[in-house]
Amino acid sequence: MLQLSFLIKLSFLNNTKTKINNLAIKTTMSSKESNLEELANEYKNRSPVAIIKFALENFDNIAISFSGAEDVVLIDMATKFKSDVKVFSLDTGRLHAETYRFIEQVREHYNIEIDVLSPDSESVQNLVREKGLYSFYNDGHKECCGIRKVIPLRQKLISLDAWVTGQRKDQSPDTRNDVPVVERDDAFSTIDKELIKFNPLSNWSSADVWEYIRSNDVPFNALHQQGYISIGCEPCTRAVLPNQHEREGRWWWEEATQKECGLHAGNVKQKS
């Protein structure tokens, strides 16, 4: 029945593989939010595979966001039970050569199409003409990330009902303390359309992810063999020392609390 929130429906119909139609999403915000919390609560101790399975079985119009780093495990898990998984990557135009090679390797290894999104050329040109190629070292990474990552992401997400990310609580103690396995995406939902965000790896540690990669012979970015843990754009990523937190390899010239690129802006917003 259409009055029921899609989430109640989801929790009941989990195994019936009934697809959500768009109408189901148009329930009242309050009921949906509480239902999302219930769902997150129900799944918070489930395995990443179970969460991905639930996500892909209940949303047709869903895609995995792949950063070219260890979130490749999402693709590995998803392709084990669904061959035509939708995947997208944000090509900022400033990725490491190793990352481009890895994205291609993943495309071929899993035989999937990866939608590699480019930023708007005019916006990039204007920024670079005015401020040069490394403005982020002077006035912060937000402007550049906005143009090269967030706007292309927003345009992509408008076309989706849900997306799957690789973010984990342990990635950023300051900003990611509270990453539910599923949530309403407050940063990218619009008045017209709610967007659901799944974070299947939320409760996994970095060690869990790497155990999975090595046990399952998952391909990985060659930078991981050179001291890199977290991987973003080339000028904004560096290798870390032994036992240094991975987040210190990103935007290291900025304060710890600002180390989100805008993809998961909700995390920071919740703090303030």
CA angle 60, 203, 226 (to 5 degrees): 95
User: Under DSSP, is residue 18 helix (H, G, I), strand (E, B) or coil?
Assistant: coil
**Residue 144: active-site member:** no
User: Does the protein bind its own copies through residue 264 (CB under 8 A)?
Assistant: no
Q: Tell which one of 9, 53, 96, 149 touches its own copies (CB under 8 A).
A: 96
Which residue blocks in 140-237 are alpha helix, DSSP H? 142-145, 151-158, 206-215
238 token code pair: 């560096």
| Segment 115 to 154, residues that bind its own copies, using CB under 8 A | 115-122, 124-125, 128-129, 132-134, 152
Residue 33 or 234 with smaller CB distance to its own copies: 234
Sign of the torsion angle spanned by Cα atoms 51, 64, 86, 154: positive
Gyration radius of the chain over CA positions = 18
Q: Between β-strands 162-164 and 62-65, what pairing exists: parallel, antiparallel or unpaired?
A: parallel
65 token code pair: 């966001």
Q: Tell which one of 61, 82, 227, 253 touches its own copies (CB under 8 A).
A: 227
Residue 50 or 213 with smaller CB distance to its own copies: 213
Q: Tell which one of 140, 146, 219, 235 touches its own copies (CB under 8 A).
A: 235
Residues annotated as catalytic (active site), given as ranges: 261
Rule CB under 8 A: which residues touch its own copies?
A: 70, 91, 93-94, 96-97, 100-101, 103-104, 107-108, 113-122, 124-125, 128-129, 132-134, 152, 206-207, 209-211, 213-214, 220, 224-229, 234-235, 239, 241-244, 246
